[in-house]
Structures are given as structure tokens and as C-alpha cells.
């Protein structure tokens, strides 16, 4: 391995929220959350390469949705590189290439995955060796889902979702994802959630004990029964057709189904690979979604390769 890598590639998974409890709106504009994340085997690949001194940051993207990936400072990977450069006292002269496989604006934390990948890749490229706690802090500064993606697995997120505690979880789970080609902006879904809750008392969010027990036992049937997402009514209110998509999974005998995060991706937990294939066929045939992905979880967090 060369002493100073020319480039570092991070492979970072998507997430699904097995439970997403949304509490009251906080004074800082965020909602208090209690969530259970699971990292699933759908990956973005983020390669950070050195550029000549003074040439700054550039971004390119590949993959089916490449044209929707921002290539300016609004890209979270760009912001991640800038943050590491300021902490590591390194000049931010890098090209960031994103091979995009995670659906964009789909509630699967694709942009967050790219930020997590860029944080870790820049840390290695610049030999910064920032302590783990500092990386987690930078991650939470950039976005609520990013700290989880550094570690992956199955974990509980509190606060805005950025305070991570790993969950006692056994077993491997088969997922099918119905993807829409029209993303749902996360802030719009939270605003709709607030609108739908107008006049009702919103309590502190909690993680369902039944879900934690099912995960501890590694029981996919009980996990399926315990899936819950407080943002689902809001996502369906904005996209009524999501109800029909979820129905396809229920009719096909999925163990559980829910809108993933803020949507519009719908996630289905199924018994095995065969059930996943059958459901994927039904979803594709329905014409109600633009793509179908299959993945298992939990998987580990970001992985790095130097070249």
C-alpha cells in the first residue's frame, strides 16, 4: 500500500427506520425522535482523490440518478470534506466521485451516506486520524442520520436521531424496497406531520418495547408486526398512492411494511429470498413504483479502501 494514498473509496450503506417515533417540535426547529435504524445492503461508493494545490473541491456522480446529485457546495459530501479539512488543517483540494445506488430523496439517507463516506475518506486521505468521538460530532453537525452510517448495524437514535446506541439485535432480515422516481423532501414531510397533528397533544417519542424484544430474539415475524413510522400518515397525505403500494406488500404476505423514513420509498420485510423475489415481481408489475430493490440487513457501516 502506498504511504500516501492518491485516493480513498468509502462504501456506505443505506438505512431503513424500523421504528420512527416523532415527538414535539423543539425550539431549534427539529423534532425530538426515538428511532431504530438498520443499515441495509444498498450502497453508495464515494471516492475522494487528491487534486493539485489550490484547485479546490469538485464533484462528479455516476449511476441511474446521477443527474439529480448536486455537484456544488450543497452536496453533503462537499461539506463533509470542508469540515475535515478545517479540523485536519489540510487544504481541501480533492475530487469527490459518487457512484449513486441509494435512491435520491427516498428516505433512505443517501445524501447522509455520501457525507459519512466523505468524512471517513478525507480523514484517511489527509492522515488526520481524527478521534472517533470527533468524527461522530462532525457527522451530527452535518446531518441527523450521518453518525449512524459511520457504524451501521442496528441502533437506536435519539435526540434528532444523532445520538446512537447500538441495539441488541440478532438475525438477518430480507427487505424489498419500492422506489419512486419523484422524491419527497424531508422538511415537507415533517411540516405535513405537524399540520396533521394540529390541536393534538404530542408526547415524547418512544421506541416500541415489542420491537426491541423481537430484535433481541431475532424473530422476523414479530419484527414485522412491530414496524412503525410516525411520518407515514404525512407521507401518505402528500402521496396517497403510497397506500396502494403498501397494500401490495400486505396482499403478498409481507411480514411487515412501512414508509421508509420520510418516504416515498416503501420498505417491506419478507421471510426469505424467495418471498423477496415474488414481492419484487408484484411491485414491478403494479406500475405504482419506478423501481424495486432487494437487500438484507443489518450490514456494517462505511468500509474504506485506499489506492
Binding site for ligand ATP (CB under 6 A): 69-70, 74-77, 98, 104-112, 114, 145, 183, 186, 261-262
Q: Which residue's CB comes closest to ligand ATP?
A: 111
Query: In three state form, how does the secondary structure of 196-244 look?
Result: HCCCCCCCCCCCCHHHHHHHHHCCHHHHHHHCEECCHHHHHHHCCHHHH
Residue (48 or 214) nearer to ligand ATP, CB: 48
Closer by beta carbon to ligand ATP, 77 or else 254? 77
Which cell numbers in the block locate residue 206?
418512544
CA pair distance 147, 229, nearest whole angstrom: 20
Smallest separation (angstroms) from ligand ATP to the CB of 53? 25
Q: Which residue has cell 451530527?
A: 140
- 226: nearest Cα among 196, 206, 204: 206
Q: Which is nearer to ligand ATP, 87 or 229 (CB)?
A: 229
CB of 127 to ligand ATP, least distance (A): 24
Which residue, 160 or 214, has its beta carbon nearer to ligand ATP?
A: 160
How far apart are alpha carbons 79 and 82 in whole angstroms? 5
Q: How far is the CB of 1 from ligand ATP (least distance, A)?
A: 27
Integer Cα distance of 36 and 161 in angstroms: 9
Q: How far is the C-alpha of 10 from the C-alpha of 6, rounded, in Å?
A: 14
255 and 224 Cβ atoms separated by less than 8 Å = yes
Positions marked catalytic: 15, 145
Amino acid at each position: 500500500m502506498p504511504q500516501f494514498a492518491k485516493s480513498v473509496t468509502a462504501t456506505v450503506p443505506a438505512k431503513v427506520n424500523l421504528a420512527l417515533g416523532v415527538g414535539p417540535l423543539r425550539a431549534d426547529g427539529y423534532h425530538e425522535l426515538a428511532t431504530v435504524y438498520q443499515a441495509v445492503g444498498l450502497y453508495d461508493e464515494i471516492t475522494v482523490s487528491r487534486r493539485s494545490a489550490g484547485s479546490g473541491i469538485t464533484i462528479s456522480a455516476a449511476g441511474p440518478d446521477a443527474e439529480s446529485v448536486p455537484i456544488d457546495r450543497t452536496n453533503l459530501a462537499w461539506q463533509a470534506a470542508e469540515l475535515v479539512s478545517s479540523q485536519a488543517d489540510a487544504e481541501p483540494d480533492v475530487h469527490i466521485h459518487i457512484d449513486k445506488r441509494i435512491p435520491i430523496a427516498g428516505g433512505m439517507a443517501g445524501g447522509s451516506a455520501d457525507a459519512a463516506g466523505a468524512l471517513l475518506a478525507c480523514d484517511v486521505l489527509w492522515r488526520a486520524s481524527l478521534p472517533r468521538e470527533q468524527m461522530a460530532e462532525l457527522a451530527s453537525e452535518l446531518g441527523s442520520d450521518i453518525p449512524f452510517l459511520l457504524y451501521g448495524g442496528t441502533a437506536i437514535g435519539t435526540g434528532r436521531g444523532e445520538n446512537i446506541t447500538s441495539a441488541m439485535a440478532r438475525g438477518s432480515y430480507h427487505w424489498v424496497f419500492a422506489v419512486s422516481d419523484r422524491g419527497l423532501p424531508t422538511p415537507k414531510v415533517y411540516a405535513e406531520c405537524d399540520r396533521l397533528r394540529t390541536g393534538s397533544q404530542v408526547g415524547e417519542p418512544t421506541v416500541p418495547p415489542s420491537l426491541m424484544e423481537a430484535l433481541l430474539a431475532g424473530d422476523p415475524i414479530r419484527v414485522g408486526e412491530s414496524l412503525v413510522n410516525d411520518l407515514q400518515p404525512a407521507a401518505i397525505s402528500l402521496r396517497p398512492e403510497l397506500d396502494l403500494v403498501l397494500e401490495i406488500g400486505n396482499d403478498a404476505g409481507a411480514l411487515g411494511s412501512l414508509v421508509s423514513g420520510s418516504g416515498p420509498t416503501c420498505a417491506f420485510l419478507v421471510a426469505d429470498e424467495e418471498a423477496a423475489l415474488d414481492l419484487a415481481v408484484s411491485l414491478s408489475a403494479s406500475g405504482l413504483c419506478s423501481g424495486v430493490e432487494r437487500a438484507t440487513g443489518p450490514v456494517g457501516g462505511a468500509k474504506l479502501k485506499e489506492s
